[in-house]
Each structure stands twice: as structure tokens, then as C-alpha cells.
């Protein structure tokens, strides 16, 4: 976490955060849970009512000695009232416990939903960890999110405890004001400790605890099959376990020292608080001996309410301190709303004019100093087929990412037709259909994997058959037990995952399905295809792309003979621009790359 997360929050900002947290928390609770919380204001009087009833019952028992059966009706009525209040207290506590657990589940799901929405709508630069985004998301999903969601319960709980506190103070003061003062004073050390521990815990969780949790995320990667190949073949496990033990030992050492420190201090505070309990009972006994008229019931009242007073006072003071301390967590959570988010309009219509122009476009990735694209200026007419080639790291994929609005240029302008690309990002993206090199593999049916690119369009079999036949994908789909409706993916019921080449065909079909998009972007569309499937894609290329403007990146230069123009990238610049024949005649970088690949097939 960066240093900003440890700043204290004060004044109006703290109040604003608390109000946001209460609204957020209210949205996670069910109506029944809210009703139980409201009923808690009445239940706050139950501890005093139970103790008061016990006092009356004890006094009646004391006075009934020698009275015979005449005292029985009053005794039974007093006992019934005492039992009724006690049962009500048990019922309420059971309901509160149940709905607290139920709300915990709702809170976790609600926070997860909010985190997913943030991750999927912020500017893409944050996914590259601009402004410590990854750390902030993990922290918000864990500690910060729960602190926010607990805020409503904390506020309601504090108000209810305050009612209980006032009623207990009134009851104990009827015996002796000194009892109240002594009990209150002995609660103060526990409150001070709670404040210090809360602050220390926050600093720990935003520093060394977070560092250890980040290590855990790294070691989780060891479970992935693609990592296990290296781990097993090169016997890396011994080296990894050494690093793991070092990280674990550092964490355990700090955690143990912190826990021991808190246990020692809390033990002293608890000893002070509990030892005074004996003093209180002796004061009460002395008062009864001095004035027997107050009855044995007063002793029972103090006996039951003294511990209740300590517990309630501690909860109010400690709860208030912790609640104030939690504002820092809440700020971390709500600060995610201040990040730059993309506007999303699912009903956006594509632009009618879709020629593309870039003027003086340069780009540097967030948190780096290296300029990946340098003063790019290019025009692409409607319907043109463009290939982008170049060595790794030359800027090809970055060019595509800017065109798709994933990143914004550091300098320069990108236009689609008469509109700036970022004027209406929803319309710009609706004009484009893209198949990225790292494409999604969704845990759903084959139909759902293809149709996800255009939720408005109905994925009828006729359309899907036509598209998948052009990609030589229909045969393997038809062999599935349920055809297009067969669930695929690693989490599918049958574990029916597809091969890399099959997934790539599905991804290309997904791009082709979005037929309202007049620009089609293909980033390494043949990377996972076998030679026969690649040749089939070449044969159906024009049919698949139709009249759409098509921009493709490929390391396999055989496909460049099918396009109108080729843009050759080198170190972030377009160094050549022309048809295959023109560039071969120029005998420049493209010709060198093409001839090098041609040697493979001789």
C-alpha cells in the first residue's frame, strides 16, 4: 500500500465517509435484518428489566418468610415477569446472532460485486497497477470492505448500547453513585488499549501483513499447470520452499510479537476490571447492612448489572474508538470511486462513417518512462484491409490497444469518421469488433462464448453455423453432445475444455458475430491454429471480414498477401507503408522479414 492509506481522516471528510458507509451497509441488509436491528432499541432495556425483576423477586422472597400461602400469587407473578423478560432477551439475542451471520454472507457477495464492477469499468491503466490499483483492490475486498459494511451495525449497536448504559446507570445509582463511578473508571484502560491496538493493526495490515499476502498470491501461482511444468521438470520446488519459509518466518515473528504484546496489555486491563467487581459487591453489602430496608434485592441487582455495566461501557467506548479508527479503512474503500471510470452505454449505436485517422500519436505506459509509440500519423480508409507487422516490442499491440480505446494516447489524436475516439467510447467500441491475442475463455456454452460479443443480437443456429463453417470450427462443435449449447471450460460439469486452437476459432467467431461493427481488429488470429486451419482462415478471409475495415497483426507474413496495405512497425514508429508488392520491391525491413520466413518453407 502507498503512504496515502495511512493518513488520518478528519472533519467533514470523516462525516461524509461515515454517511456513505451507512448507506452502503444498509444496502447489504435484508428487511428482516433491519427489522431485528430496529427491535434492538426496545431490547436495549431488557438487561435492566431482567435485573429489576430479579430485585423485586428477591425482595418478595425475603418478605414472604412466615407469610405462608398468601405470598404465593405475588411470587408467581413476579417470577413470570422475570421469566418473560429473560426469554425475550434470549429470543432477541438468537435472532440478532442469526441475522448477523446471514448479513455476513450478503456483505461478502455485495463487496465482491462492487469490486468486480470497479475492476471492469476503471480505465485500463489501473489494471497495469497505476496508483497501486491491484493492492488497493485486494485491500478493499478484504479488510476495508468489511469495515465499511459493518458500519451500519456499529452505529445501531452503539445507540442501543447507549440506551442500555443509561438504564443501567439509573438502576445502579439507586443503590450508590460510587458504584457507577468506580465501574466506569476501570473501563478506561481497556478503551485506551483498544484505540492503540486498532491503529497498530491498521498500520500492520497496510504494510507488513500486506507484503505477506502479496507473497501468498505469488505462491498460489504454483498451482497453475503451466507453472507446474517448470516446477517439476527443473525441480524448482526446493528453491521455492526456501523463499516461502523466509517470508513465512518473518510474518510469524511479527505477528507473534504483536499478539503477545496485545495479550499482556489486555490481561492487565481485564484483571483491573474484574478485581473491582469484588469491591463493588462489598460496597453493596455494606449499604444493605447500613440500611436493611433496601432489601436483599439490591444486592442481586448490583450482582447482575455490574458486569453488564462494564461490558456495555466497554462496548460503547471501544466501539466508538474502533468506529472512528475504521474511517481510514472506509476512506480506502470509497477512494476507489474517485478513480477514472469508463462510461458504458449498452445501447450505443456504431458510427456511420468509420475511416480511421491518427495524428501525432505517442504513448507511454503508466508508471514507466519508455515511449512505446512515437509520433504515429496514419489514415485508414473505410473497407481497407490492413496488416501490421514488426518485431516483438515494436508497438503493434499497443497501436491496437489505443485504437480500441483501451488506453488513451499520451499525445496526439485518434478519430473514427468525424468523431474523436474518446468523445463517446461506447459508440467507438460499438463500431469496432476485436479479437485480442489474449482472448476470454468463458465458463458457459459455446453459443454463449460466441454471442457474448453482441448481447442484443439473437444467436440463432443458422448464423452460428455460417460463421463457424468459415473458420473450420463447425465440425468439432457438431460433435459436442449438445452442439452449440454444450458447456465448455475447466469448470464445466464434464470438465469439457477445448484445445488452444479450438478456443481461438471460437474467439474469431465471437468477433465475426458482432456484425454491426464496421471495423474488425484481429491480433495474432492464427497464433494457436495448426497449418491447415490457418490456410482455411486465409481462404475465407475476405468472406469472413466482408466490407468491414480490417486491421490484423500477425507474425506469420503469409496473410499479408491478402490485405491492401501493410504497416511495418519498428521501435514505436511506422517505418514502411505499402502493399506486399511495393514493400518487397523496396527491399526494406518488410522484405527482410518476409524472406527470412520464406526460408522455413523451402
The per-residue pLDDT of the chain, averaged, comes to: 82
* Domain assignment present for 310: yes
**Residues 272/185, Cβ–Cβ less than 8 Å:** no
Tell me: the pLDDT tens digits for 378-418?
999 999 999 999 998 899 999 999 999 988 999 999 999 99
Q: 487 - beta bridge partners?
A: 445
Q: Which residues form the domain of 252?
A: 8-338
Instruction: Return the pLDDT at 589.
Output: 94
Determine the average pLDDT of the residues in 585-595.
93
Asked if 325 and 360 sit in the same domain, the reply is: no
Residues 6+ apart with CB under 8 A from 362: 371, 373, 374, 375, 376, 409, 410, 411, 412
Residues 67 and 122 in one domain: yes
Residues 328 and 392 occupy one common structural domain:
no
In 3D space, the residue among 351, 393, 400 whose CA is nearest the CA of residue 376 turns out to be: 400
Inside any domain, residue 327? yes
Residue 79's pLDDT band (cuts 50, 70, 90) = confident
pLDDT of amino acid 568? 95
Residue 483 counted as domain residue: no
Same domain for 329 and 434, yes or no, is no
Same domain, 332 and 388: no
* Among 304, 338, 372, residue at a domain's last position: 338
Query: Could you tell me if 294 and 382 lie in one domain?
Result: no
Q: What is the CATH number of the domain that holds 116?
A: 1.20.1560.10
Residue 44 within a domain? yes
Please check whether residues 275 and 411 belong to one and the same domain.
no
Residue 487 within a domain:
no
* Residue 2, pLDDT score: 45
The pTM score is 0.69
The answer to the question of residue 544 being in a domain is yes
Same structural domain, 314 and 364: no
Average pLDDT over residues 136-154: 75
**Total number of residues shown for the chain:** 602
Query: Residue 441: is its pLDDT beyond 80?
Result: yes
Answer with the one of 294, 309, 338 that is the final residue of a domain. Answer: 338
How many domains are contained in the chain? 2
Grid cell of 360 as nine digits: 501525432
CA distances, 160 to each of 38, 40, 153, 195, 301 (Å): 9, 7, 10, 21, 21
- Domain shared by 325 and 371, yes or no: no
Residues 326 and 371 occupy one common structural domain: no
Whole-number pLDDT of residue 550: 93
Q: What is the CATH number of the domain that holds 553?
A: 3.40.50.300
Distance set, CA 400 to CA 130, 293, 387, 397 (Å): 20, 91, 11, 5
Residue 272 lies in a domain: yes
**Residue 309: pLDDT band with limits 50, 70, 90:** confident
Do residues 113 and 207 share a domain? yes
Helix axes 297-325, 188-205, angle to 10 degrees: 30
pLDDT of residue 371: 92
Assess if residue 536 is contained within a domain: yes
With H, G, I as helix, E, B as strand and everything else as coil, classify residue 516: coil
| Top-ranked range on mean pLDDT: pick from 54-63, 70-79, 308-317, 455-464 | 455-464
Lowest-confidence region among 196-200, 284-288, 294-298, 342-346? 196-200
**CA dist list (Å): 101 to 28, 38, 256, 381, 557:** 12, 17, 29, 60, 60
User: Are residues 332 and 425 both part of a single domain?
Assistant: no
Confidence of residue 212 (pLDDT cuts 50, 70, 90): low
Amino acid at each position: 500500500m502507498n503512504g496515502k492509506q495511512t493518513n488520518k481522516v478528519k472533519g467533514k471528510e470523516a462525516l461524509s465517509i461515515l454517511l456513505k458507509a451507512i448507506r452502503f451497509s444498509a444496502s447489504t441488509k435484508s428487511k428482516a435484518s433491519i427489522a431485528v436491528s430496529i427491535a434492538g432499541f426496545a431490547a436495549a432495556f431488557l438487561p435492566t428489566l431482567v435485573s429489576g425483576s430479579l430485585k423485586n423477586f428477591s425482595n418478595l422472597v425475603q418478605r414472604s418468610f412466615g407469610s405462608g400461602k398468601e405470598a404465593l400469587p405475588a411470587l408467581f407473578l413476579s417470577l413470570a415477569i422475570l421469566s418473560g423478560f429473560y426469554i425475550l432477551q434470549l429470543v432477541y439475542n438468537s435472532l440478532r446472532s442469526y441475522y448477523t451471520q446471514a448479513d455476513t454472507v450478503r456483505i461478502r457477495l455485495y463487496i465482491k460485486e462492487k469490486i468486480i464492477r470497479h475492476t471492469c469499468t476503471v480505465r485500463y491503466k489501473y489494471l497495469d497497477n497505476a496508483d497501486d490499483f491491484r493492492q488497493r483492490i485486494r485491500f478493499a475486498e478484504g479488510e476495508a470492505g468489511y469495515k465499511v459494511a459493518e458500519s451500519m451495525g456499529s452505529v445501531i449497536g452503539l445507540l442501543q448500547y447507549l440506551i442500555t448504559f443509561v438504564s443501567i446507570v439509573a438502576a445502579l445509582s439507586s443503590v450508590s453513585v460510587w458504584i457507577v463511578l468506580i465501574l466506569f473508571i476501570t473501563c478506561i484502560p481497556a478503551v485506551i488499549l483498544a484505540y492503540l491496538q486498532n491503529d497498530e493493526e491498521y498500520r500492520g495490515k497496510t504494510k507488513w501483513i500486506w507484503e505477506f499476502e502479496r507473497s501468498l498470491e505469488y505462491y498460489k501461482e504454483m498451482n497453475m499447470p503451466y507453472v507446474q511444468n517448470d516446477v517439476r521438470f527443473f525441480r524448482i520446488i526446493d528453491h521455492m520452499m526456501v523463499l516461502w519459509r523466509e517470508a513465512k518466518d518473518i510474518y510469524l515473528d511479527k505477528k507473534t510479537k504483536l499478539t503477545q504484546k496485545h495479550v499482556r496489555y489486555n490481561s492487565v486491563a481485564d484483571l483491573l476490571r474484574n478485581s473491582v467487581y469484588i469491591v463493588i459487591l462489598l460496597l453493596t453489602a455494606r449499604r444493605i447492612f447500613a440500611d436493611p430496608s433496601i432489601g436483599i434485592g439490591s444486592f442481586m441487582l448490583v450482582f447482575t448489572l455490574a458486569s453488564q455495566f462494564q461490558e456495555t461501557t466497554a462496548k460503547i467506548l471501544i466501539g466508538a474508538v474502533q468506529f472512528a479508527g475504521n474511517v481510514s479503512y472506509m476512506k480506502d474503500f470509497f477512494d476507489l470511486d474517485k478513480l477514472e471510470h469508463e462510461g458504458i452505454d449498452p445501447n450505443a449505436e456504431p458510427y456511420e462513417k468509420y475511416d480511421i485517422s491518427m495524428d501525432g500519436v505517442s504513448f507511454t505506459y503508466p508508471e514507466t518512462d519508455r515511449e512505446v509509440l512515437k509520433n504515429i500519423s496514419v489514415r485508414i480508409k473505410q473497407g481497407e484491409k490492413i496488416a501490421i507487422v514488426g518485431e516483438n516490442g515494436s508497438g503493434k499491440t499497443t497501436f491496437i490497444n489505443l485504437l480500441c480505446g483501451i488506453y488513451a494516447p499520451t499525445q496526439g489524436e485518434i478519430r473514427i469518421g468525424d468523431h474523436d475516439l474518446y468523445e463517446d467510447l461506447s459508440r467507438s467500441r460499438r463500431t469496432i469488433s476485436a479479437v485480442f491475442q489474449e482472448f476470454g475463455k468463458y465458463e458457459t456454452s459455446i453459443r454463449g462464448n460466441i454471442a457474448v460479443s453482441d448481447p442484443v443480437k439473437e444467436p440463432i443456429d443458422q448464423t452460428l453455423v455460417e460463421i463457424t463453417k468459415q473458420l473450420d470450427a463447425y465440425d468439432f462443435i457438431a460433435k459436442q453432445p449438445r452442439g452449440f449449447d454444450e458447456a465448455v471450460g475447466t469448470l464445466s460439469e464434464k470438465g469439457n475444455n477445448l484445445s488452444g486452437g479450438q478456443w481461438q476459432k471460437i474467439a474469431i467467431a465471437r468477433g465475426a458475430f458482432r456484425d454491426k461493427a464496421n471495423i474488425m481488429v484481429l491480433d495474432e488470429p492464427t497464433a494457436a491454429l495448426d497449418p491447415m486451419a490457418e490456410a482455411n482462415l486465409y481462404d475465407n478471409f475476405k468472406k469472413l471480414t466482408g466490407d468491414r475495415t480490417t486491421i490484423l497483426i500477425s507474425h506469420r507474413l503469409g496473410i499479408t498477401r491478402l490485405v491492401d496495405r501493410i504497416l511495418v512497425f519498428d521501435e514505436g514508429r511506422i517505418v514502411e507503408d505499402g502493399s506486399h508488392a511495393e514493400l518487397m520491391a523496396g527491399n526494406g525491413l518488410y522484405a527482410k522479414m518476409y524472406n527470412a520466413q520464406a526460408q522455413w518453407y523451402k
